[in-house]
Amino acid sequence: MNAKIRSKKIQQIVVTAEQMRNIEERIFSAGIPVAALMEKVAGKITHKLQTLFSEKSITSADKIGILVGPGHNGGDGLVVARELYFLGYNIVIYSPISKPKELTESHAKYAISLGINFSSNIKELYDCDILIDGLFGFGLEREITGEIANAINIINNLNKFVISIDLPSGIHTDTGEILGTAIRANITLCLGLWKQAFLQDTGLDYIGRAELIDLDIPRADINAIIGEYPILNRITQDTAINSLPLPRPVNCHKYKNGHLLIIAGSKQYTGAAILAGLGARASGVGMLSIAVPNSIKPWLSLQLPESLIIGCPETENGAILELPEDIDLNRYQTIVCGPGLTTEAQAIVERILTANCAIILDADALNILAKLNPVLALSSRKFPTIITPHFGEFKRLFPELIALEKNQIILAKQAAELTGAIIVLKGARTCVATPNQVWINPDSTPALGRGGSGDVLTGLLGGLLPPIILAEKPVELIVNTAVWWHSQAGILAATERTELGVDAYTLTQYLIPALTQFLKTIN
């Protein structure tokens, strides 16, 4: 496998702390000494640090503080300290913990013999220009307390630029939970394989920018522990783009590109239907129909002139009362239901749950579903079913799962196993779970944390599904594509307009530019 292909494959893999330990044990059992791997790890970290120092204009005149713990993460830090010292950098090693592991202790003795400043006094870090965190690596499970907790809090209050090795010290490897306290890093250099903590919302404020240091772990050792087709994966640009229905056949027409029905909107939430429609428009779906209350039909026709707008009888409050009698749900490959619907539309949701096609439930459709029996209603369906809750909606749908589990990745997969549905658990790291696999989107932006962003995603996903269904391809990967594409549009918009300037309507205007920009880079 050439280096470029390997890099793409490695970027997709995610492991738990236990899996990482087992992979390392296989490597050591095969004959590589722990010390040799530590040297290799530190060499790669040092090379990466030189690039980062250049970005931050750190020179040999600046003071670099390296935080060292008792385990092999501390050993990595000590070897990095030694290599940076040999390169002429001004190094101080801060080691607040006694009784290190044997190998770590050996590196500490050698660092001292070289004359590197070695101290347990945290005041040595006060005048440092940058800090390297090697206190604790992956696998930490106990809370940090006492003097070490106090030291970490002092370090965080120093407001130094911090680069953490593998994980910020104090982060739980699998859940991202803060174990009492944790180092707040600006950059984290994840070693070998991505850990689950990087893909959960909990610890993201502490991880900062994350980069993977590939340690050339043999794929055979990885596969032996997690399998050739891992349960947990990162959505990458390549996996997302490969699922797009592009290029289209030269003889395609609107019916080959599928027909989507969106049921959305109310007098109060007209915009939700418009935003979902604009998201669907960007997908290139062949035909788009949108069912809305009669009173807001003119607004939809104005914004989406190419769409078929279906007026529906409405309640006194301006919500859809019922679908027109002549509407034939069998005409559509996919039905989206929920954005701006209000909870008055329970009869609509109950009818859509019986539809003989793929459905996507979002927003108020999920609030209505929570009042029914969500597990029974979803597991009874024989056609592809996708639900797109944020965490609050997820808690209302599956309170019994929330009571027993904190790990959002596990929660999403458990919900998928219970219902047979595809769960899109939205957040800073959106999780796409099927009964067999989980995919996490590693790239997003706080700019998407605004009302209406989810409506855009629902419409985009709805529009991407029909041609996939007509081609009789599995729908799971196109869900990943929609999640990735939506986030890339947000990132591009935030880059050009700042994170404050990306309202949901603006987001719809960046869907096509974001995709176009990426396609140009690969052609």
Confidence at 6, pLDDT banded by 50, 70, 90: low
Is this model's pTM higher than 0.95 or not?
Answer: no
pLDDT tens-digit series, residues 388-443: 999 999 999 999 999 888 789 999 999 999 999 999 999 999 999 999 999 999 99
Q: Dihedral (C-alpha) 111, 113, 115, 121: value to the nearest 10 degrees?
A: 60
pLDDT attached to residue 382: 95
User: What average pLDDT does the structure give for the chain?
Assistant: 94
Is 199 marked as binding a ligand? no
Is 72 marked as binding a ligand? yes
The HSE-up count of residue 514 (CA atoms within 13 Å, CB side) is 26
Helix (H) or strand (E) holding 508: helix 504-509
Q: How far is CA 379 from the centre of its chain?
A: 26
Check if the beta carbon of residue 272 is closer than 8 Å to that of residue 52: no
Is 371 marked as binding a ligand? no
pLDDT attached to residue 523: 61
First-to-last alpha carbon distance for the chain, in angstroms, is 22
Is 82 marked as binding a ligand? no
Please state, in angstroms and as integers, the Cα–Cα distance from residue 447 to each residue in 164, 462, 488, following that order: 26, 22, 11
The strand order across the sheet containing 161-165 reads: 117-119, 90-94, 63-68, 130-134, 161-165, 187-191, 209-213
Choose between 34 and 7: higher pLDDT.
Answer: 34
pLDDT tens-digit series, residues 111-165: 999 999 999 999 999 999 999 999 998 999 999 999 999 999 999 999 999 999 9
Is 140 marked as binding a ligand? yes
Query: Within the chain, what is the greatest distance between any pair of CA atoms?
Result: 86
Question: For residue 314, what is the DSSP state?
Answer: B
pLDDT tens-digit series, residues 265-300: 999 999 999 999 999 999 999 999 999 999 999 999
81-105 burial: b if 16+ Cβ within 10 Å, else e: bbbbbeeebbbbbbbbbeebeebbb
- Give the pLDDT mean for 450-465: 97
pLDDT attached to residue 8: 73
pLDDT attached to residue 3: 61
Is 216 marked as binding a ligand? no
Is 486 marked as binding a ligand? no
Contacts of 209 (CB under 8 A, 6+ apart): 186, 187, 188
Is 141 marked as binding a ligand? yes
The rounded percent of the chain whose pLDDT value lies above 90 is 89
pLDDT attached to residue 116: 97
Is 221 marked as binding a ligand? no
Which structure tokens are listed for 385? Answer: 């079913």
Considering only CA atoms, give the Rg of the chain: 26
pLDDT attached to residue 5: 61
Is 362 marked as binding a ligand? no
For residue 293, cis peptide bond before it (omega within 30 degrees of 0): no
Is 497 marked as binding a ligand? no
**CATH no. for 3-229:** 3.40.50.10260
pLDDT attached to residue 249: 82
298-334 burial: b if 16+ Cβ within 10 Å, else e: ebbeebbeebebbbbebeeebbbbebeeeeebeebbb
pLDDT attached to residue 403: 86
- According to CATH, where is 3.40.50.10260 located in the chain? 3-229
Long-range contacts of 145-151 (CB under 8 A, 24+ apart): 145/180, 147/96, 148/96, 148/97, 149/180, 149/181, 151/96, 151/122
Check if the beta carbon of residue 312 is closer than 8 Å to that of residue 335: no
The partner residues of 309 in beta bridges, in order of sequence, read 290
Is 301 marked as binding a ligand? no
Q: Which amino acid is at 197?
A: A
- Give the pLDDT mean for 332-342: 97
- According to CATH, where is 3.40.1190.20 located in the chain? 239-521
Superfamily in which the 239-521 domain is placed by CATH: Ribokinase (3.40.1190.20)
Check if the beta carbon of residue 167 is closer than 8 Å to that of residue 138: yes
pLDDT tens-digit series, residues 465-507: 999 999 999 999 999 999 999 999 999 999 999 999 999 999 9
Contacts of 253 (CB under 8 A, 6+ apart): 286
Distance in angstroms (rounded) separating the CA atoms of residues 102 and 35: 11
Is 496 marked as binding a ligand? no
Distance in angstroms (rounded) separating the CA atoms of residues 28 and 53: 32
Check if the beta carbon of residue 234 is closer than 8 Å to that of residue 439: yes
**pLDDT > 70? residue 324:** yes
Is 75 marked as binding a ligand? yes
The strand order across the sheet containing 259-263 reads: 232-234, 438-440, 431-433, 422-425, 385-387, 358-361, 334-337, 259-263, 287-293, 308-312
Confidence at 1, pLDDT banded by 50, 70, 90: low
- Give the pLDDT mean for 188-210: 95
- Burial (CB count <10 Å: 0-12, 13-18, 19+), residue 228: exposed
Is 429 marked as binding a ligand? yes
pLDDT attached to residue 255: 79
**pLDDT > 70? residue 360:** yes
**pLDDT > 90? residue 256:** no
Distance in angstroms (rounded) separating the CA atoms of residues 248 and 427: 32
Is 169 marked as binding a ligand? yes
Is 227 marked as binding a ligand? no
